[in-house]
Amino acid sequence: MTKFSLFLSVLSVSSLLFPSNGWSADRSQQRNLIPLPAELTWQEGELPIDSNFMVALEGRKDSSLEGAVQRWLDRLAKRTGVRVSKMIQASPEQAKFVIQCEGEGKAPSVLQDESYSLAVTTLQARLSAPNPLGILRGLETLMQLVRSHGKRHMLPCVTIQDRPRFRWRGLLIDVARHWQPVEVIKRNLDGMAAVKMNVLHWHLTDDQGFRIESRKFPKLQEHGSDGKYYTQLQVQELLAYAQERGIRVIPEFDMPGHVTSWLVGHPELASAPGPYQIERTFGIKDPTFDPTREEVYQFIEAFLGEMAKLFPDEYLHIGGDEVNGKQWNQNSKIQEFIHEHNLKDNHDLQAYFNSRLSQILTKQGKKMVGWDEILHPQLPKNIVVQSWRGPVALAHAAKTGYDGILSYGYYLDHIRTAAFHYNVDPIPSNSDLTAEQRAHILGGEAAMWSEYVTSETIDSRIWPRTIAIAERFWSPASIQAVVDMYRRLEVESIRLEEFGLTHRSNYATMLQRLAGKYTVESLKVLADVVEPVKLYARESAHHYTSETPLNRLVDAARPESDTARLFRNAVDQFLKDAPRVGRSQEVQFVLTRWRNNDKKLRPILEQSELVAEAAPLSRDLSTAAKLGLEAVKFLKSGQPASVSWQDEGRRILDRAQEPRAEVEIAVIPGIRKLVLAASQLEKLKGLPAADWNRELDSQVEASKRKLEK
């Protein structure tokens, strides 16, 4: 076989397992809208995008709307090469794209209408909305509709009536644990707008950093930020940038806990004497504000008054989570205050603090947002509870008359799959909430806590999984097809690169740095099949501080291995053919590649201290892949494997599934499924293919749970 024919063979097989995500001539593969609209009807035909494609604005016009249209045209030019140089101000019937805005533009609010209508015929596209915000949402849908075939560019004919399911569709970005520069926030705002998210929850203060300029209390940023903070001019710039994209910005100033960075410059606010230093480690810390002293409330009122003028949104987040109460318990004056005011415990004391805080915010024209812990009968009904505890806690808040948003299930730092996040709903299908109570569920927020991300890696932790969350917040609850979600998500992930997001490009950069002078291919083979450990496993695996370099394989690895997901799909398809088992080629191809990769990777493992910790993973991947090839051989022959082979295979896979170097080999469940099928061939032969797969999936999950324990 020649090198060229070998290349074609490899390309053919790999395309079976890892199909192209480009546009297909098949219309069904071109419907890559995400989030999916509320109502959509495809029509026959298409509207060309060429030099005759001109835009007309009807109805109300303002500079913000014209700016949004111009940004859209600039993106269209980059994507297609077609430059629309002017907008027609009269004779809209001559235009190929008519935008009709019925109402004037206002600052985005939680109650603002975001609906739009879009109709594309072979003669003209027409987008209409009650206000510029709806136009913004419709423009993003229209951009996703753009298709190219060679030198031809077009829009498919379609009719869309669209509106969001939830009013609050947010992304929390924590800039306190690890500082994130202005350009990081801007590119993520662009990504949010592209998938119709409308709230940036900006976590600006925590034990590790105070990240905003206060002109009234400059010691806050001067002593509490290591010089890494946003000036008020930068904040105003970012607020304008967000508003242009239809995104509200809600700042979070966490209190009365998570306040170490405040206390470095102002120890007089604390419940225990200082001095204080910026916290370099993570977790729940002891320092808290003293809620019994009037001077503390005077300081907070002055500071929040300054911030209220800076941030125009009607909501302001006060955190309110994870107060361990140690400083309160050890302060005799605070304990006397609790007794004198007939408070039961620290929870009541925090409710007292929050009640005072709510009064301060009301004076400033703001409404309070806080985490689950703030919920207390003393607080007014106009607060918003952000739930990390789950839909049950959120439903309880709604039943008692409080608005709420869900973040449980959307913590991006937990390193869950897009499918996991997609299957979490602010209002689950089994919810017993009445229609009135459901109205209190405003939506949800994905949460990007930054203990283990830098500006180099944060995009890869936010995207592309947040695209799936965005669809859950926008689209009808009936949209549930996970496989189709992944197909559309991958297309949008590629599109997002036009904003400068680095969730794809930095992967190659980081791997090449780890590989040093060697080519990166063998390291990429390993990196493609591993995922960082889940939940809070990194906390116990390694001693981290805010100054620890985040430059290892665990940092380069993607939160979800597409290779592992596609391999599992290929295994499922292979086993569905049982007992014929005729579709083994693609499975054998990748297993052979993994089996042979350890030898190719050894030079890199031996020369790099950063990668050397992955040596056991590489060996285990090779051994597990060899076992998978043996399983395929048994299945193809129809002969069951021996008991000794089964026992040895279980030991190999159990060892390979154990996390090392803070990553886990994500393809092991797929290989285990093959091994289980080979071990139980006689038992499974009599079952329908669907039952066969379900039985094996159940056993794979049982093995995973057993190992996790």
Active-site positions read 322
Alpha carbon distance 551, 168 (integer Å): 35
The residue among 532, 524, 526, 529 whose CA lies nearest residue 457 is 532
**Polymer length of the chain:** 709
Contact of 526 with 621, CB cutoff 8 Å: yes
Contact of 369 with 384, CB cutoff 8 Å: yes
Alpha carbon distance 440, 405 (integer Å): 9
Backbone phi, then psi, for 246, in 5-degree steps?
75, 30
The first and second tokens of residue 577, run together, are 């053919």
Query: Which string of b and e fits 655-685 if b means at least 16 CB within 10 Å?
Result: bbbebbbbbbbbbbbbbbbbbbbbbbbeebe
Alpha carbon distance 253, 251 (integer Å): 7
Alpha carbon distance 179, 188 (integer Å): 15
Alpha carbon distance 565, 170 (integer Å): 27
Alpha carbon distance 366, 358 (integer Å): 9
The first and second tokens of residue 465, run together, are 């999984």
The first and second tokens of residue 388, run together, are 């990390």
Contact of 325 with 257, CB cutoff 8 Å: no
Contact of 275 with 224, CB cutoff 8 Å: no
Beta bridge partners of 56: 88, 98
Continuous H helices in 496-584: 505-515, 521-527, 537-541, 553-556, 562-576
- SS3 track for 415-469: CCCHHHHHCCCCCCCCCCCCHHHHCCEEEEEEEECCCCCCCCCHHHHHCCHHHHH
**Residues in Cβ contact with 677 at an 8 Å cutoff, skipping those fewer than 6 apart:** 575, 578, 631, 635, 684, 692, 696
Contact of 395 with 433, CB cutoff 8 Å: yes
Alpha carbon distance 374, 379 (integer Å): 8
Contact of 381 with 358, CB cutoff 8 Å: no
Instruction: Compute CA 5 distance to the chain's CA centroid, rounded to the nearest angstrom.
Output: 41
Contact of 278 with 227, CB cutoff 8 Å: no
Beta bridge partners of 156: 46
- SS3 track for 269-280: HECCCCCCCCCC
DSSP secondary structure letters along 637-693: HTPPPPHHHHHHHHHHHHHHHS-BTTEEETTHHHHHHHHHHHHTHHHHHTS-HHHHH
Alpha carbon distance 574, 584 (integer Å): 6
